[in-house]
Amino acid sequence: MARLPASVRLSASGTVAELRCDELTDAGVVLSIDGAEQSHVEVADPDFLLHDYTVRESAVLRTAARDLVRADARGQVLHLGAGALTLPRWLGHHAPGLEQTVVDVEPELVDFVLAHLPMEPAPRSVVADAATVFADDGALAGERFDLVLVDLFNSSEAPEALTSTAFHRTTLGATADGGLLLMNLGDEPPMDFAAEQVRRVAEALGPLGAAADELWDRLLLTAPADVVAGEAEGNLVLAASPQAPFAEATVNAVWASGPHPGETLTGAALRDWAG
């Protein structure tokens, strides 16, 4: 690991990315953008996840995508939003045979992170706007992935191009048959933004008509209980299974994996929560 702290100006946004040692753990490193913490990496142990939402993402992956999270797994994984590559490192630790691609709009970010926090094997890095990367002339046109992880929605200030039903339909379309889409949604009470995103993903899955109830069984939401209740700011993890509903055993396993207190919603309960 290179000497820290270190920083770089990001040309797309004009913001400053900084890597610094974390005071909470022995070998932790924090990535901040203009002072706001974005990612945490435990350098000595990529299996360690500090933030609640990353632990919940790992719980979904261990259950709903368990065929990918094993030492002999092969498959294609896409990360929209790079950060400090926390989840790519976690996946690479459990399934080194996965071929991972990260997309970020900032040309400098991935090289900066890897220069100070190396990762082997390093993921394929694509500099592009996630809103257009699948367009006919986009860098990933025609490609499909067994797992798509979306970490772009930090708040209701996210641009419409990255939160529209059309965008969600595009990302679902890039998910291979039998694959999984996993999204990190940041919001604050009363969770209007997150609820709207859940409704839009449901709409992207199919028409919300008389037979729409079955669509909600293909969605799963997990988050801290007070966040789901609209009592605290935080992150919610939304999983979408485009081809098949989540099995009851999977839903129960996600809830049991925690962290607690937490809520895991699917089907009619999630539909009612999303309004």
Domain residue ranges in the chain: 51-274
CB 82 within 8 A of CB 111: no
What's the pLDDT score for residue 153? 73
Question: Which of the four CATH numbers 3.40.50.1100, 3.40.50.720, 3.30.1540.10, 3.40.50.150 does domain 51-274 have?
Answer: 3.40.50.150
Q: What is the mean pLDDT of residues 29-47?
A: 94
Please tell me the distance from the alpha carbon of residue 103 to that of residue 151, in angstroms, as a whole number.
10
Q: What is the mean pLDDT of residues 232-251?
A: 96
Q: What is the mean pLDDT of residues 6-29?
A: 94
State phi, psi for 226 to the nearest 5 degrees: -70, -25
pLDDT at 210 over 80: no
Q: What is the mean pLDDT of residues 249-253?
A: 97
pLDDT, tens digit, for every residue of 168-193? Answer: 999 999 999 999 999 999 999 999 99
pLDDT at 129 over 90: yes
Residues in CB range of 173: below 8 A, 6 or more apart: 134
Write down the residue that tokens 């989540």 correspond to: 246
pLDDT at 83 over 70: yes
Average pLDDT, the chain: 94
Please tell me the distance from the alpha carbon of residue 173 to that of residue 158, in angstroms, as a whole number.
21
What's the pLDDT score for residue 208? 58
What's the pLDDT score for residue 112? 97
pLDDT-derived band at 1 (thresholds 50, 70, 90) equals low
Query: In whole angstroms, what separates CA 257 from the centre of its chain?
Result: 18
pLDDT at 211 over 60: no
pLDDT-derived band at 24 (thresholds 50, 70, 90) equals confident
Q: What is the mean pLDDT of residues 238-252?
A: 95
pLDDT at 2 over 80: no
Residues in CB range of 8: below 8 A, 6 or more apart: 16, 17, 108, 109, 112
Please tell me the distance from the alpha carbon of residue 130 to that of residue 173, in angstroms, as a whole number.
14
Q: What is the mean pLDDT of residues 9-14?
A: 96
